[in-house]
Amino acid sequence: MARALINVPAKAAKGEIIEIKTLISHPMETGFRVTFNGTLIPRDIINTFRVTYNGVEIFAAELSSAMAANPFITFTTLATESGTLEFHWAGDNGFSVTETATLVVE
């Protein structure tokens, strides 16, 4: 099970722009590397990353082999209402991880 770290402020004022940082452990094997005996190491990467805020998509990304191992992505969003942020990573070999974070908006 891949470990994901998410940094969302616990509290925010209404209308405030908050920064969200995400990090997930994943080798992001490019599919372009070869072993000592010349066989190609098959690709194993995270393809998509999606974030919903109370069910509404606020950020999405399509990743490629050019992303570093352990993808780290930060983005911003407007704190509109208290609720749940859901983070979903999906990739090769059936990789799928979902994490949630709660945000209190005052």
Partner 1 sequence: MHTSRRKLLAGSAGLAAAGLMKLTLAPAQATPASMTVAMQKILQGAKPTPGRVTIDLPPLVENGGTVPMGISVESPMTATDYVKAIHVFNEKNPQPQVISMTLGPRAGRAQITTRIRLADTQNIVAIAQMSDGSFYSGEAFVIVTIAACLEDLP
Residues at the interface with partner 1 (CB under 8 A): 17-18, 30, 32-34, 36-38, 53, 56-78, 80
- β-strands 17-24, 72-78 pairing: antiparallel
- Min CB(9)–partner 1 separation in Å: 13
Query: Which of 64/100 has CB closer to partner 1?
Result: 64
Cβ–Cβ under 8 Å, residues 82 and 105: yes
| Least separation in angstroms between CB 40 and partner 1 | 9
To the nearest whole angstrom, how small is the minimum distance from the Cβ of residue 74 to partner 1?
A: 5
Closer by beta carbon to partner 1, 46 or else 97: 46
Sheet containing 95-105, strands listed edge to edge, beginning at the edge strand earlier in sequence? 11-12, 95-105, 83-91, 46-53
d(CA 34, CA 41): 6
Q: How far is the CB of 37 from partner 1 (least distance, A)?
A: 8
Q: Is the dihedral of CA 58, 88, 69, 38 positive or negative?
A: negative
Q: Which is nearer to partner 1, 20 or 97 (CB)?
A: 20
* Cβ-contact 74, 62 below 8 angstroms: no
**10 or 35, CB closer to partner 1?**
35
